[in-house]
């Protein structure tokens, strides 16, 4: 049996993105606990502001996903001279669908249990993995808004493995052309929005950011080809710049423009991925026990946490003082319960399907 490939540090990147999302969404819900929610400042229309790191967290997920899937497909193509499309989709189904649909069912049960009024009109979009559409048109369902990113990934992989069948050189050129075209389209939609007030196209391309996954894919192809360009991504100065930007995201001090923020975060993520894999001049090593553990269960952390926040807000006593201890208690309770449930989900539910998924994997991967 072929030894499973391990790309170090990838689970650590997943962990950073997932935990940031949970912290951010907990912050936005602090009012439900009786606490002041604007501890990170005010956002649009005076509402609470979350973490910029969380806002960029999905772009980190996208870039990482594009990198890992493309690299594994390249190895499969090298080994068998083709890509088994059927097996690719079976792997996606076994990994993504079980928890995704269990969570939707749990949300519907929660609506009934807590007598939550909702419009069922958008439900088919969630069922058919088009969860980005309700977000674009402003008709999301309670607790399901964050599923938009899963919809985007599944839509991207409807066409990507088919394109990935071409030679590596052709795929790299095609990837770069697609990135440029999609970004130019984004600029055009931005002008359409600013000049004529037509917002939906710009919102749609900002949500359905295929070019972010393509940036990850381009990084994977360069890594697979052992390109000389990699030396620029893995030198000590690039690493220092990348971690400096990550630090600015953590303290909510990175925000250049919606035109470039996600693209920069994607490039930084790819550089961090390459640095972690390269294992030289390490500044921060993400291939550690706790980070690896949280990365393994990060899918559950990302999917489950909105229901955890809601249930805790319903059952914890309302706080009447916005003290540091109260804030820390809420964050700790949400994080602990989310991690606990995610571990149980991974250990006793998802892992069964992951084992089934592995039967259809030509290239085994621990990442």
Q: Which tens digit of pLDDT belongs to each residue from 150-173?
A: 999 999 999 999 999 999 999 999
Look at residue 5 and tell me if it is in a domain.
no
Burial of 293 (0-12, 13-18, 19+ CB in 10 A): middle
**294 — pLDDT class (breaks 50, 70, 90):** very high
Total domains in the fold of the chain: 1
Asked if residue 290 has pLDDT above 80, the reply is: yes
What is the distance, to the nearest Å, from the Cα of residue 79 to the centroid of all Cα atoms in its chain? 29
| Coil, helix or strand at residue 42 | strand
Q: What is the DSSP letter of 144?
A: T
Q: How far apart are CA 175 and CA 87, in angstroms?
A: 23
**For residue 68, what are its two tokens?**
């890992």
Look at residue 367 and tell me if it is in a domain.
no
Look at residue 2 and tell me if it is in a domain.
no
State residue 42 phi and psi, 5-degree precision: -100, 145
Q: How far apart are CA 303 and CA 307, in angstroms?
A: 9
H or E stretch at 157: helix 148-163
Look at residue 118 and tell me if it is in a domain.
yes
Look at residue 256 and tell me if it is in a domain.
yes
Q: Residues with Cβ < 8 Å from 134, sequence gap 6 or more?
A: 122, 125, 126, 140, 141, 144, 145, 148
Asked if residue 134 has pLDDT above 80, the reply is: yes
pLDDT (tens digit, 9 = 90+) per residue, 273-288?
999 998 876 788 898 8
pLDDT for 320: 87
Look at residue 3 and tell me if it is in a domain.
no
Look at residue 363 and tell me if it is in a domain.
no
| Coil, helix or strand at residue 5 | strand
- Average pLDDT of the segment spanning 287-306: 95
Q: In the chain, what is the greatest distance between 2 CA atoms, to the nearest angstrom?
A: 64
Asked if residue 133 has pLDDT above 70, the reply is: yes
**363 — pLDDT class (breaks 50, 70, 90):** confident
Average pLDDT, the chain: 93
pLDDT for 6: 84
What is the distance, to the nearest Å, from the Cα of residue 183 to the centroid of all Cα atoms in its chain? 20
Provide the domain limits for residue 303: 10-358
Q: Measured at the alpha carbon of residue 305, what is the angle toward residues 17 and 97, in degrees to the nearest 5?
A: 85
Beta bridge partners of 42: 48
pTM: 0.94
Look at residue 364 and tell me if it is in a domain.
no
**45 — pLDDT class (breaks 50, 70, 90):** low
Contact 356, 96 (CB under 8 A): no
What is the distance, to the nearest Å, from the Cα of residue 137 to the centroid of all Cα atoms in its chain? 21
């Amino acid at each position: 049996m072929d030894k499973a490939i391990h790309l170090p540090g990838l689970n650590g990147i997943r962990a950073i993105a997932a935990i940031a999302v949970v912290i951010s969404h907990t912050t936005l819900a602090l009012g439900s606990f009786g606490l002041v929610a604007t501890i990170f400042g005010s956002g649009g229309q005076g509402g609470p502001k979350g973490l910029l790191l969380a806002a960029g967290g999905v772009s980190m997920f996208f870039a990482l996903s594009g990198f890992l899937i493309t690299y594994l497909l390249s190895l499969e193509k090298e080994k068998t001279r083709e890509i088994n499309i059927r097996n690719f989709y079976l792997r996606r189904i076994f990994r993504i669908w079980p928890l995704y649909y269990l969570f939707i069912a749990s949300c519907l049960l929660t609506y009934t249990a807590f007598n939550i009024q909702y419009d069922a009109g958008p439900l088919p979009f969630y069922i058919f993995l088009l969860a980005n559409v309700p977000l674009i048109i402003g008709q999301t369902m309670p607790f399901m808004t964050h599923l938009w990113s899963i919809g985007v990934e599944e839509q991207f992989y409807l066409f990507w493995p088919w394109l990935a069948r071409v030679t590596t050189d052709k795929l790299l050129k095609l990837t770069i052309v697609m990135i440029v075209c999609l970004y130019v389209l984004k600029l055009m939609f931005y002008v359409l929005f600013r000049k004529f007030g037509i917002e939906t196209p710009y919102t749609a391309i900002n949500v359905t950011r295929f070019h972010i996954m393509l940036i990850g894919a381009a990084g994977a192809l360069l890594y697979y080809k052992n390109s000389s360009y990699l030396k620029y991504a893995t030198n000590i100065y690039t690493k220092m710049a990348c971690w400096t930007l990550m630090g600015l995201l953590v303290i909510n001090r990175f925000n250049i423009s919606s035109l470039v923020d996600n693209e920069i975060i994607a490039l930084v993520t790819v550089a961090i991925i390459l640095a972690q894999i390269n294992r030289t001049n390490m500044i921060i090593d993400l291939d550690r026990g706790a980070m690896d553990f949280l990365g393994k269960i990060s899918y559950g952390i990302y999917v489950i946490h909105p229901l955890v926040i809601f249930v805790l807000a319903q059952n914890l006593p309302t706080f009447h003082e916005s003290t540091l201890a109260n804030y820390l208690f809420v964050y700790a309770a949400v994080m602990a319960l989310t991690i606990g449930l995610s571990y149980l989900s991974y250990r006793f539910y998802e892992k069964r399907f992951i084992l089934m998924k592995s039967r259809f994997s030509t290239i085994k991967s621990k990442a």
